[in-house]
Amino acid sequence: MSSAPESALPITLVRHGETEWNAKSVVQGQDDTARLNDKGRGQAQLVAESFLDMDFDLIISSDLARARETASIIGEVLSLPLEIDPLLRERSFGVLETGPSSTLTSAVTGISKGILVDPDARPDEGESFRDVVRRADIFLDRVDEEWSTKRLLVVTHGGTIRALRASASATPLEGLIWDTVDNCSVWTIQSLLAP
């Protein structure tokens, strides 16, 4: 999956726990109103316990509240320091945020039948998927500059996980398969450079 050298440290990615807006199919994007619901807090606790035998050095989280709360629950279980990075925010859906998920049509997302067909599609006042990948590129550069010797646990969002995976593997964006990224699902990538 990665074009990185085998000696590069893996980065573990976790999507935040379920929010009340996830449960109601409301577009969240970068709107910071939604909070974890009871199910989401339970998911965060369970994923934290699944990491007890792993040797992480640091948690880095999106600055959006749903990711920060998930990261705080995990960090408390694992006794890990927490760093916040706005580069890890979800894709901005602009004027569609706080509305129903049904407004996220292929014309504004660039996604059709589970495939990214237009990485430059964007809702009004929002980001394209290519924009999110550019943020992912900057974040991975930061990882290589600041944390290349650290085992990282990154708590972020579904779109950002897809962008980080695409960036780390240098996958062409056109034709990218749009994998389902469930709440508190776990993914692994390699940093771009060897430590």
Catalytic hit among 18, 69, 90, 127: 90
Catalytic hit among 16, 18, 69, 157: 16
16 is catalytic: yes
Pick from 135, 165, 128: nearest CA to 62: 135
Contact 80, 58 (CB under 8 A): yes
* Residues noted as catalytic: 16, 90
